[in-house]
Each structure stands twice: as structure tokens, then as C-alpha cells.
Structure 1
Amino acid sequence: MAEVVKVFKKTSPNGKVTAYLGRRDFVDHLTHTAPISGAILVDDDYLKGRKVFAKVTITFRYGREEDEVMGLHFTKEYELVTAEITPKADDAQLSAVQTQLIEKLGASARPFSVALPENAPASVTLEPGDGDSDKPLGVLYELMFFVGESEEENPHRQNSVAFSVRKVQFAPSKHDNSRPYTMVSRTFTLAPGHLNLEIALNQDIYLHGQPVETIIKVVNKSKRTVKSVVAQVIQHVEVTMTNSHFSRVVASIESREGCPITPDSTLERSIELKPLASNMRRFGVALDGRVKDMDANLASSTVAPTGKDIEDALGIIVSYSVRMKLLCGAISGNLSAEVPFKLMHPDPEAQAAKPEETFEVTEFSSIRRGKSVDEVDEED
């Protein structure tokens, strides 16, 4: 049975320029970043010697618009790419989607392929909290096509088309799949003995929606009693624009199974946690920049290519860890430990070969988050 592949379509307000995207994501495979490709349909009679250009802009918004006072701005916008859409390329250079689009649209269609610079940051948006903001916080990309005399020309809304796009990272197809592990121990004031906690995960990379299974072992050689165990998944966020760090709990459970753990006793068990964006409505939780609320995921872990330091990454750096707490009471205190792991999407290119594909064109404006680009422009 043929698989349906969506092709995203949008037309300029004057109806003269129509863009078709095979996908809305720049995909970072660590070794390279795959470009966004598709086709532009524009009549030669309308161009009249002008050219079609593609422009990619990135916006860093690290503060709410309503907090911008006395000339203070919490946003920075950069133009990453501006390129002319060249004449029709050789068929050998076209993807399957582009080939079918060109055959369907005719000679007025021009294929394109737009790539990002190597160090461009991944798309991440931050949960605005209870009061939704008109402009989301985070790292946002826009891909625009416009008609003009030169690339320096300011695009006119009437003959331009803009898409919200993302840069995403997928889990590497080959990795050592090590098992994160840690052990901590503590003693108590005026009490002999010690309390040991061991934490182990069964893998290093988990996929979105997959439960994170944690195996814990508690050896109580102290005179204190462990009353309960708290398990949490912590999302760590670093905003490089402001050099700020913060953490959010994205999954949590308190369990008394196997408790109390009395002196000279041992507990060994597994605890499952499932970090999901649908569970969280807290300011600052990092999401993956989906254009629709309903299919938003927690932001994927930021991964650096081999030989590069994650500290050199730009934008918003996201990481995850499992935290375990042994609660021994207000007087005795607690014992806690963390182990890091990665939360990512699988790489579609690493999956098995797909069946024959058919194509379905979707109007892009109908799936924009809240409002289309045209509607936002009209309000501006």
C-alpha cells in the first residue's frame, strides 16, 4: 500500500507566487544538516526580469514582549541565508517529491534547496505558562520566498510567502548505548553507619513517549529509616544569549512501595517515568518548536557532533536527568542522586525502506499555530 507524504503549500496574497515544501524541518544528522527542498511556482510573465529569492531568518526571543519597557528588547533577529532560486536543476539532483512536483506543476515551477550554516542552533520554544504570549519564547526559524530585483531588497508582503520551519536533531543511528549509572552514600550526624543509593538506567537514549525505566538499589546500613522514594525526570535548560540556567521537573512520582526501608535492610526495584509535554503547563519548560500545540513534544536533548563540545552550541541547550530522592524525615534529611540521559526522536532515514509514496498537498496556513503568517501581518 502506498504511503501518503504531505507536501505543504502556501500562496502569496496576490496569488502570483506559490511555494511547495517537502518537509518543514532542517534535519541535523550530526555529520550534516539536510536542507529543506521543494518547488516554487511563479509565472515568467509576472517576473519580468526579476528573480525569486529564498531567505531564512532566525529569531531569539528570550523574554516576554509585555516586559519590554523603556527601550529594552528581549529579542534578536538574524538573517542566516539569502539565496537566489536558480533555474530548473538537473533531474539527477531532485528528490522524489521535487520530481513529482515539477512534473505536475509544469515549466513555470522552479526547484529549490535551502541549507543552513553548520552551527545554526536547534529550534526550541519555552512554555509561556498560564498566560499565553502572542510571540513564543525561544529559537524560531522562518523560511521566506519573495520576488525582487536583488537579495538586498526588502520583501513585499503581497508577493512573498513565509513558512515557520524548524531545525531538529534526531537520535544517532549508531551509538554505544551505555547504561548510565551512579552511586551515592551519606552518613548521619551522631548516628553510625551509612545509607547507599545506586541508580542505573537500561539505556542512554530514550525516544519521546517512551517510559524511562530506572533501577534503584538502596542499602541501609544506618540507624535511619527511609520512608518513601521520589523519582523525577529533570529538564535542564541553558539559554546562551543570556548565560542563564534553570531546571524544570517534567515527570514525578512518589512511591512507598518497599518502604519503610528499615536499618540493615535492602530494597531493589524499578520505577518507570514517562516525560510528556502534555503533562506540563509550567513557565520555562522547553518544547521542540512544533507549529501545533497538540503535537508539541518536550525539546530533544542537544547533542554535539563527534569531536565538538556541547558548550560551544548556540541558542538553547537542553539536557535531561533522572533524580532519585530517599526521604528519611524532616530531622534526618534526604539522600538524592542524578543520572543523565538523552531524550530524542528516531532518525527516519535510519528506518527500513518505505513503500511507494504518494503525495498529498496541505495548505500551510491551516496548520499554523494559532494564526497564519498572513493574518499576523495584517494585524501588524
Structure 2
Amino acid sequence: MVNAVKVFKKTAPNGKLTVYLGRRDFVDNTNTTEPVDGIVVCDNDYLRGRKVYATVTVTYRFGREEDEVMGLHFSKEMQLASQQIYPSSDTPELTAVQDRLLKKLGANAYPFAVTLPANAPCSVQLHPGTEDAIKPLGVIYDLKVYVGDNADEKPHKRNSVNLAVRKVQYCPAGGNRRQPSTLVSKGFTLSPGKLNMEVNLDKDVYYHGETIIPNISVTNGSKKSVKNIKCSVVQHIEVTMTNSHITREVAGVESKEGCPITPGTTLNKTFNLNPLATTNKNRYGIALDGKLQDTDANLASSTIVGEGKNPNDALGIIVSYSVRVRLNCGALGGELMADLPFKLTHPITDSVAAPVKSETKEGEDIVFEDFARLRRGMSVDNN
């Protein structure tokens, strides 16, 4: 039985340059980031002494393109890395896919690996609330491979290839050891005693798709009664380009079970919360992992900085999550609120934990997917 390995392929409009990628996601494990690697096939007769370059650019789009008037721009593009990939004196360490592609594609195939800076932001897309938006909002990465006489030459569309890639973050090793907990209290004017609430989670790191189960303990030592309880997962978004902060509720449930909590009584209760992108499709401003192809993206992962690094140095769009619990004590009593932070991310995989070495497995074949056929209608790849 043959196992197929998917490889993404895109060819320049003139047909003289083709780029192959074994993956479109490049992982940041908080210590290092995987290089953007692949294979380029170029027609030597077409080059005539010219060189092949690869660049990785990041675009911060923090406003809609249709709102840009009178020279006002809501985007900023920066080139993060650039290198000459043919001819090249440096031969990168080959991955298994690169090794197999070199054997399959022949003498005009050349490997490349572009290294991203350590502080490069993660791919995050802000949901526009509709699928009709022309340009996605957020942090978007592009790999461009082009032919030119020098690195400063402006590439022409006919002899260049643009491919959308993502920088994603996985949970670092050693997560899930801490059990988050918070205790809050509220006193009332002209009324003795306090209302106390403790919120606990069984772990600090949750993976996309997991159910979050906060445990809530309420002790009512006041003279007021608790009418109902609302428990939700809140996504906190900080856009560093505009220094703006956004909060969005991505899952929530309200309950009167066990209520009212009368003076002198206690209540222990758990909630099941499932924060998913599919249940927030029509909500404007929800942060998603940078979206590729026509598949649904998941909610944006929590921004995690490496040990010993300053969280304030994080760039782009910073995402965090918390469980928010509100106790409603009526119109006169107000409410008691607790926020308990946690992390939502991808689990680290074996291929991320240990780099893939160059090896060929028998009984496997390569299936090429052309970028031009991956998407319908407008595409960030069709540049």
C-alpha cells in the first residue's frame, strides 16, 4: 500500500520557475523557529547568469483596504529575511521531503531554507464578521521567490512566485504543570459580611478543541443573595501597531441552577466550556490562527514568550485567554467578577519536538497540489 506525501507547488506565470513546499506552517517553540524551507526548480537557459532570491515578508493589516482614503494606509509591510538561493555557497540541512524532491525533480532542483528572526510575530487573522472581505486583517506572511540580477531589484510578477505561509506556535515542553486558581471577595455598603468566590482549573494549558471545566466555589457570608452565575471564556487581543485592546467572549453559559445562593450558604459548581471558531463565525474581531486555503481556522493560540524573555517585547497581535465568572447579586447588589488566565494552544508533535532527518521510506509517493487549484475566487496566493 502506497502512502502519499502532499507537497504544495506553484509556478511563475512564465513557467520558468517553480517552488515546492512540503509544509506551509513553520513552528515557533519559543526557543527557535523552523526555517521556511522547500525546493526551487529553475530553467538555467532562462536565467542567463541571473540569480534566484527568496524573501519572507510580513504584512500588518489593521484596517480595511476599502477605508483607505487620501493616502491613509491601514497596513505595513516589512521584509523579515532575504537570501540568494541559487547559486548558493551554503547548502541547507535537508529535510526528508527536500531529499526526496531533489531525487525526483532532477538536476535543476535546488533546496533552500530561509531563517526567520527570533521575535517575528505569529500569524493571526482578525475575523471580519463576513466572508466577503477582500483583504484579511491581521498578521500575514508571504514567501516570495524571484529571478533578478541583484537582491535589491524589484521582482516582476511574470518571473516570481508568491506563496502564503504561516508562523504558528506550539505548546513548549513542560506545560500543564500549574493548576490556576483565584479567590475574590466583595463587601456591600451598609451590609456586614462578604461574598467569596474561588475559581479553579485543572491545568494551565488547554489544546484547541478541548473542553474547559472551571470549578467554582461560592461562600455567601453577606446579607445579599446571588441571583445567577455566568461563566465564559474571554479572548483578549492586543494590536501592538495601534496600541488597541479588544475583548471577545468566545464561549459562555449562564445558569440559575443552585440559585439563589442565600446568606450563609455555599455552592460548588462546574461548567463545561468549548471555545471554538466554528461557533463564532459571524462575530467581528475574533482572532483566528492565520487562515490558509478554504478550511476553517481555529481560534488564535495564546501568545507565549520564551523563558527569560520580556512579554512586552512580543510583536504583532498578542492573544491571551481567561475564564471569567460573574455572580449577579441583583440591581442593588451589583456583581462579583473573577478572571482566571489560561493558555490555549496546539500540542507539540513528535516532528516538532525532534527535527525530521533526511531519510527515504519505501512504499511512499509524492502528491503535488497546485496552489492555483487550492482556493476558489480571491486568494492571497494569487499575486
Q: TM (normalized to structure 1)? A: 0.93
Deviation at 1:296, TM superposition (A): 0.6
Matched residues in 2 for 1:298 and 1:369: separation? 23
Letter in 2 for 1:362: E
* 1:208 corresponding residue in structure 2: 208
Partner residue in 2 for 1:326: 327
Q: Distance in 2 between matches of 1:283 and 1:239?
A: 15
Cα deviation per residue 1:324-358 (whole Å; 9 max; x = unaligned)?
01112122111110100000011223679999565
Structure 2 stretches lacking a partner, 5+ long: none
Determine whether 1:339 maps to 2:346: no
CA distance in 1, matches of 2:287, 2:197: 30
Which 4+ runs in 1 deviate beyond 6 A? 88-92, 351-355
2:379 corresponds to 1:362 = no
Alignment partner, residue 220 of structure 1: 220
Q: 1:90 to 1:106 in 2, by over 3 A?
A: farther
| CA displacement at 1:14 relative to structure 2 | 1.2
Query: Alpha carbon RMSD of aligned pairs, Å?
Result: 2.2
2:226 alignment partner AA: V
Following superposition, the deviation at residue 310 of structure 1 comes to 1.1
Counterparts of 1:340 and 1:150, CA distance in 2: 49
The structural deviation recorded for 1:86 is: 3.8
Task: Write the distance in 2 (CA, Å) between the matches of 1:168 and 1:14.
Answer: 32
Shift of 1:240: 0.8
Distance of 1:218 and 1:369 partners within structure 2: 52
Shift in alpha-carbon separation, 1:235–1:93, aligned structure 2, 3 A: same
**Residue equivalent to 1:39:** 39
CA–CA separation in structure 2 for the residues paired with 1:112 and 1:359: 19
Cα gap change, 1:372/1:66 in structure 2, threshold over 3 Å: closer, same or farther?
Answer: closer
Query: Cα deviation per residue 1:169-225 (whole Å; 9 max; x = unaligned)?
Result: 100122362011100011122222211100011110100111111011011111222
Between 133-142 and 366-375, report the one with greater CA deviation.
366-375
Q: Does structure 1 retain, via aligned residues, the 8 Å contact 2:7–2:369?
A: yes
Deviation at 1:60, TM superposition (A): 0.8
Distance 1:276 1:38, change over 3 A: same
- Aligned pairs for 1:263-302 (under 5 A) are 263-280=263-280, 281-302=282-303
Number of equivalent positions: 376
> What code does the residue aligned with 1:329 have?
G
Residue 104 of structure 2 is matched in structure 1 by: 104
Return the letter of the residue paired with 2:275. P
Structure 2 equivalent of residue 7 of structure 1: 7
Write the distance in 2 (CA, Å) between the matches of 1:33 and 1:170: 11
Deviation at residue 294 of structure 1 after TM alignment: 3.1
What is the CA–CA distance in structure 2 between the aligned matches of 1:206 and 1:114, rounded to whole Å? 31
CA distance in 2, matches of 1:369, 1:336: 45
Counterparts of 1:91 and 1:303 in 2: how far apart (Å)? Answer: 32
Alignment partners' CA distance in 1, 2:51 and 2:153? 11
TM-superposed deviation, 1:2 = 6.6
> Contact 2:51–2:87 (CA<8 Å) still a contact in 1?
no
Q: How does 1:112-123 map to 2 (within 5 A)?
A: 112-123=112-123
Q: Which moved more, 1:286-295 or 1:223-232?
A: 286-295
SS at 1:33's partner residue? coil
Kindly tell me: are residues 136 and 90 of structure 1, through their superposed partners in 2, closer, same or farther at Cα, counting changes over 3 Å? Answer: closer
Cα pair distance change 1:143/1:336, threshold 3 Å: same
CA contact (8 A) 2:220 2:262 kept: yes
Deviation track 1:69-121 (CA, whole Å, cap 9, x = no partner) reads 22211111111112111458899821100010000000110111111111111
1:211/1:176 CA distance change after superposition, 3 Å: closer
Alignment of 1:18-37 (within 5 A): 18-37=18-37
Question: In the alignment, what sits opposite 2:51?
Answer: 51
Q: Aligned partner of 2:339: which letter?
A: E
- The question of 1:178 aligning with 2:178 is answered yes
Three-state SS of the structure 2 residue aligned to 1:174 is coil
What letter corresponds to residue 203 of structure 1 in structure 2? K
User: 2:168 — aligned with what?
Assistant: 168
Tell whether the 8 Å contact from 1:214 to 1:270 is kept in structure 2 after alignment.
Answer: yes
Q: Which residue in the other structure is 2:189 paired with?
A: 189
Cα 1:207–1:373 shift into 2, 3 Å: closer
Residue in 2 aligned with 1:250?
250
- Matches of 2:92 and 2:71 in 1, distance apart? 52
Contact 2:82–2:114, Cα closer than 8 Å, also in 1: no
- TM-score scaled to structure 2, two decimals? 0.92
- Alignment-derived partner of residue 310 in structure 1: 311
Change (3 A) 1:32 1:353: closer
Cα distance in 2, alignment partners of residues 247 and 129 from structure 1:
15
- The CA deviation at 1:130 is 3.9
Larger CA deviation: 81-90 vs 310-319: 81-90
CA distance change for structure 1 residues 148 and 321 in 2, over 3 Å: closer, same or farther? same
> What is the alpha-carbon distance in structure 2 between the residues aligned to residue 212 and residue 338 of structure 1?
14
The amino acid that maps onto 1:228 is: N
SS at 1:346's partner residue? coil
2:53 maps to a residue whose letter is F
Question: What is the CA–CA distance in structure 2 between the aligned matches of 1:118 and 1:41, rounded to whole Å?
Answer: 29
| 8 A contact 1:41–1:110 mirrored in 2 | yes
Shift of 1:292: 3.4
Q: Secondary structure at the match of 1:290?
A: coil
Q: Percent identity?
A: 55
Cα-to-partner distance string for 1:117-145 (whole Å, 9 max, x where unaligned): 11111111111124732111111111011
